[in-house]
Amino acid sequence: MRVAILTSGGDAPGMNACIRAFVRRSLWEKNEVFGIFRGYQGLLNGEIKQLESRDVGLIINQGGTFLGTARCEEFFREEGQKKAAEILHQHKIDALCVIGGDGSFRGLLALSEFYKGQVIGIPGTIDNDIPGTEYTIGFDTAVGTAVAAIDKIRDTALSHGRIFFVEVMGRKSGQIALSTALSCGAEDVLIPEEKTNIDVFIQRLEEGRRKGKRFGIVVVAEGDEAGGAFKIAEIVMQRTGLPIRVSVLGHIQRGGNPSAYDRVWGSRMGDAAVKFIKNQMTRVFTAMKGGQIVPAYLAEAVSGVRTVDPEMVQLVRICAQ
């Protein structure tokens, strides 16, 4: 078979480990493997290169994606999808694998209406927000990066007796914020999935001060419905006079060497994708369920945003007492 792989959307640590495993498993199965550079934009531009084993050497420890990624307005339209399908047919590609998030999967489903080969998705996004899978490549590293940063911020917060609002990524999902908050012992967490009651939030902060807390860490997902960390901090300071500082971690969460966990599961998902192709599957993605990788329908992955566990939200606040 002739198989191809591309990365789309935001980069995530562990993508390179996934590409490496996909390429080498494909070669093990005697397939010809092609890398498509710069995502769907590169596909439309014909940026396709055959890959050999040495092409993916020395990348397992690197963040980002060596294939590159790009936003492609042309691919959003039916004409662009038809063009992409024709290019794949011209290169005699039998199966296409795409590593990315829900937007990348939507593009893959749309492409499959015109492309008659197999299509397989691999969930790669630091947000861990794709329904149907318990894990997406990059999440563990992103949380680890955020926790390491907050461990340093805590030193300053304690020294000055301040409350720090730390904004992490998560425009539609609070998965990063929630795991980060629990991991770093935050005083509170604000996420898009939970309506933020400013009055109740302020009561929790003031109760902490009455209990003798000298400082505080509040983790805020960038997509919190009450606003970002700066907006919420301004409201709280105006109403309470509490000494608050804001730190926005931003895109630092996307980069860096992937954790061992992301390397392991990135590799396993890349390997599983080749097995799905071998078994003639299509319109599915590599989902982690119960510690195993199983096929799940792409349609499920684009059905919304994976919900957070409300018990974890409660646990953050119980442990912050």
Q: Is 127 a catalytic residue?
A: yes
SS3 133: coil
Question: What gap in Å lies between CA 258 and CA 268, rounded to an integer?
Answer: 14
Place of tokens 């992490």: 168
Q: Give me 35's structure tokens.
A: 């890398």
Question: What gap in Å lies between CA 115 and CA 40, rounded to an integer?
Answer: 14
Q: How far apart are the first and last CA of the chain?
A: 58
Q: Which of 127, 129, 224, 262 is catalytic?
A: 127
* Torsions phi, psi for 196 (to 5 deg): -85, 115
26 contacts 3 by C-beta, under 8 angstroms: yes
Question: What gap in Å lies between CA 10 and CA 188, rounded to an integer?
Answer: 28
SS3 17: helix
What's the helix, strand, coil split of the chain in %, to 5? 45, 20, 35
224 vs 37, 141, 148, 194, CA distance in Å? 34, 22, 22, 8
Question: What gap in Å lies between CA 21 and CA 263, rounded to an integer?
Answer: 10
124 contacts 101 by C-beta, under 8 angstroms: yes
Q: How many Å is the Cα radius of gyration of the chain? A: 22
- Residues designated catalytic: 127
